[in-house]
A = this chain, B = another copy of it.
Amino acid sequence: MSLRFGILGAGRIGKVHARAVASTPGATVVAVADPLAEAARQVARDYGCSIRSIDEIERSEDIDAVVICTPTDTHAELIERFARRGKAVFCEKPIDLDVQRVKQCLRVVAEEGATLMVGFNRRFDPDFMAVKAAIDDGSVGKVEMVTITSRDPAPPPIDYIRRSGGIFRDMTIHDFDMARWLLGEEVETVVAAASVLVDPEIGRAGDYDSVNVILRTASGRQAVITNSRRAVYGYDQRIEVLGDRGMAAARNTHESNLEMALAEGFRRPPLLNFFMTRYTAAYANEIAAFVAAVRDGTVPPATGDDGLKALALADAAVKSVAEGRVVRLSEIVG
C-alpha cells in the first residue's frame, strides 16, 4: 500500500518535497499544512491533496508519515509530537540549533521507536553517490583526504543570515555531513578559519561569509571544507576523495553540454545556479529512500544521530574560530 504523507510547511523546500513525494511510486501526498493559505492551496492544487492544520494532520488516521519543512525553531517539537503519534518523520535539517535540545528530541524518538530521517539531500546526489560507491567498492583504497568545495551563487537575504545560526550551522552543516559520510571514521578534531569578504553586512550580523575548515579523525584522515557565500559562476559543489589507490572526484554540473569555440577562447555555460535545479535528482532519491526505509522497517540512511553529529561539528568550528585553536569534538558532545 502507498505511504500517505502530510507536508508540514508549503514554502520553497516544502514544495520540493511535495513534488518528490508525488513522483515517488508507493507514496502519496494526502494533506498539506501552512499558515499562508495561498502556499497551501498551490500544493493542494498541484497534487490533489487536502489542506489541513498541523493539529489536524497530527490526528489524521489517513496519514502515515510527515515531511517537516516548517521554520527551524519548530522542528524539534514537531518531531516529538509526530513521533509520539506513531508517524514516520522526515525532517529538514537542522533538528535544532542547540545540541542539548537535539539530544532531548532524539531521546523521545528513541523511546517511541519512531522512524526519523534528516534531510541531508547531498547523500542522494547521483554524482556524490558515485564517489561514495568508488570508496565502498575499494576503487580509491583506504581514504586519506577528503576535499569539499561548496559555494553558493550569492548570499541569502540578511534576515535569513540573522536567523540561520551562522554559516557553520546553516551552510557548512551539509559539508560536515558529507565529510563524515565519506571519511569512514568519526571526526576527532576541528579547526576553522572564518572571514567576512563578500558583504560587510554579514559581518555586522555577527556571521562570516568565507570559511575553511580542517577535520581530522583518530587515525589521521583529514577533510578540508571550503565555503563561500558567493561564486559568481554558479553553485559550486565539488567533492574529491584521495585514497591510497586513487582519487574519486565529483565534478560540477553545467547548465548544458554546449561548448563554444570563439576567437577569444572556448566557453562553457555557467553551473546550475540553484539548489533546486542542481539537486533535483537528489531530492527525489532522498524521499524514495525514506519511503523504502519506512516500508522495510530499516534504519533510514540519514538519522537523527547524523543530524546531531553534524551540528556538533558546526559548534566545534564556531568554538575554534572564537578561540583560535584546534577543538576536540569531545568538548562539544562530551
Contacting residues, chain B, for A236 (C-beta < 8 A): 247, 261
Using known A-B contacts A144-B210, A326-B324, determine if residue A232 contacts B127 with beta carbons closer than 8 Å.
Answer: no
- Given A145-B228, A212-B224, A244-B232, A258–B127 Cβ distance below 8 Å? yes
Within 8 A of B (CB), among A130-178: 130-131, 134, 139-140, 142, 144-145, 147, 149, 151
Residues of B within 8 A of A246 (CB): 232-233, 260-263
Residues 210-234 (chain A) with a chain B CB within 8 angstroms = 210, 212, 214, 216, 219-222, 224, 226, 228, 230-234
A 250-278 binary contact with B (CB < 8 Å = 1; else 0): 11111011111111111111110000000
| Contact of A270 (CB < 8 Å), options: B259, B264, B268 | B264
A231–B224 contact, CB under 8 A? no
Q: Is A193 an interface residue (CB 8 A)?
A: yes
**Interface: A198 (CB within 8 A):** yes
Structural contact, B193 and A193, CB atoms closer than 8 A: no
Best-surrounded residue of A131, A197, A210, A269 (most CB of chain B within 10 A): A197
Chain B residues positioned under 8 Å from A142 (CB to CB): 197
**A242 at the B interface (CB under 8 A):** yes
A330 touches B (CB below 8 Å): no
A198–B244 contact, CB under 8 A? yes
- The yes or no answer to A74 lying at the interface (CB within 8 A) is no
Measured CB to CB, the nearest residue on chain B to A263 is B232
Binary contact readout A184-208 vs B (1 if CB under 8 angstroms, 0 otherwise): 0000010101011110000000000
Q: Does A35 contact B (CB under 8 A)?
A: no
A253 to B250, CA, bound (A): 15
Whether A27 is near chain B, meaning CB under 8 Å from some CB there, is: no
Identical chains bound together, number? 4
A71 near B: Cβ within 8 Å?
no
Interface residue A85 (Cβ < 8 Å from any Cβ of B): no
Known contacts being A222-B195, A261-B233, is A212 close to B214, with CB within 8 Å?
Answer: yes
Closest Cβ of chain B to A112, distance in Å, is 37
Once the chains are docked, how many angstroms separate the CA of A195 from the CA of B142? 14
Q: How far is the CA of A68 from the CA of B45 in the complex (A)?
A: 31
CA distance A258 to B224 in the complex (A): 19
- For A232, the chain B residues whose CB sits under 8 A away are 244-246, 261-263
State whether A248 touches B222 (Cβ < 8 A). Answer: no
Interface membership of A26, Cβ < 8 A: no
B267 touches A266 (CB 8 A): yes
Q: Is A249 an interface residue (CB 8 A)?
A: yes
The reply on A126 being an interface residue by CB < 8 A is yes
